[in-house]
Structure 1
């Protein structure tokens, strides 16, 4: 619903005038063309480092792990003002089948920009960059710094954002441009963690199968118990679907390297990868304890049931290595009110969702690390969608609106 709102000021107009929608689209398309799956972000980070430097920002490549890089840039203020981070991750979701065109060759149709990685979340990264560049090009003097963090590893625990915070980029506030919609500001969401459960068996030839212990059969029992498990928690009516978990992968074979040849041999090792979403009453410790309690009950019933819990998962698995805490930032925080106010200035509307939005609040993100570091923050980014993880797209009208809102929010924060 439209409401009365103040028009942009002359200074705001000066900044907004430096946002070129064609340039926004060009940058988004360039980012689509660079595959940057989790652990494979370096080529995209290096491209962004060069791009940001070419645009006049003070940019650096950070090596968060050996050979694994991210790009962070700063628009320096004159001093004495508040600083703000515009944060987006460059690692992208796994590539699913079913695409109707090359997923790394962008195309536009019906007001949507298509290409893998654009939804989660290279559109948000684009908005952060173009907002900062609009401020620089406007010539408006800022007292505070504006940081653009194009981080790696959000999809496996957010170690990129942690690295940025701990290596020179701690700011007074932050906006993470996750793809929840240009009229949505999220401040409350799930915690998330991955763990691995192993079942141990005894390998024998099929001719002596009765003398073996089948790790795969034991895992089937374990998965049934995990899916039926009641996790210890206090119910949160704003997040009624929590806690929840998903057994996402299962592999079994011979030995801890999962030798798959020799199907005539009983499996002696099987693993399942589990993702858990939880609320503020839970932690990684309470969740591991719940898993252990559940699996111990199976072992008490079956002396041949042997298991191990792997947490944190080994880095080679590509899973999250941290228990990312649930977040509940007060909507009264200044950065939240700035985003809300600037959305109203530009659209004439209040946000459709403020605080919690379902099911989006059942997703984890890097505000966990920012909030735990004492940095007030919120989620605000362009929406879009996908069909079963293919034909991924962002809505261009939302991309343009978010870019403008972020520019005015950074202007207000760092003025």
Structure 2
């Protein structure tokens, strides 16, 4: 307390408590390690280490989840037969290693709130004794229980006797305009851990949200490149759309790196804050985004003949949504990635010189609402048994509150305004 009440007045009681609990009381803390310690010298050592390694890895010697900035290369098809595609570099991808974020989080104090073993939550009616299954968390879902059981049946790593557990990953991404005027925008990618209760994740001060990447936008230089193409004026829009899809999937190919694939298959040994070690296997359970972004991630045609990213139900049958036959149809016709058709379409404009919007490409992809981009998740994770399409969950904000409900409410306002030009009915609606 003498140290707290002397010297700088910037010290807070919370910081003192954190110093005692996280540093002095830590079992690994040894006073002898601080012999001849100097903050100035330590900061100088960190700066020198960072400058020496930033040109190659951008990492400091004490951090595994720091930020990197790299460029992303995409291939632009040239509308000429047997002409190799042009490689266009998009700079400004800021990202972190997904495995690095997993390690840093699981070894931090926040891991004490993690649920590692899934279970079914059952409510027993005190009056009737009837059992009712409660669906409230990802770790109480059938999907997690099935993934956990499948993991336990997987052979152990030779020489490892640690218990195998799942790190449940939940991703969000949303291209966002930052201002009402101008073009300033950002495209962030977030990650949460489904091991954490939704009641903790929902707290703004929980620190549960981890920024994984900031996806760059296509620069104006791309238009300069496309202007050299034959029939540029008619191909500009489909080419830009194709490049945007290619960019997002190239970003995900970089994020799903060899370190992540190795962790997905063989797990990583992590020691949580309680000192217990586990072999942790990352598994992706959900990905939430607005519909246009889901269409890009699922590599389907937005509002196409089969517009759902999870199933192959046709658009003309969407009015039957919610009926028993509709549910059966969705279960019987899940969406799968038709790699042969996508590759056939890509050969048409990457090798044979057809335009992206040509009839032969459209005839190949349109019946199944496919797009001409090879899916990064399918390329990287499907050999490991991962199914992409079930992870696309309903986004209430984009798909209902800012989508269906917003459009419905605006339509109601128009009806009231037309029925009562003097805004009497609108005033009554506001009063209610």
Normalized per residue, the structure richer in strand is: 1
Q: Give TM-score scaled by structure 2 length.
A: 0.22
Higher helix share: 2
TM-score for the superposition, normalised by structure 1: 0.23
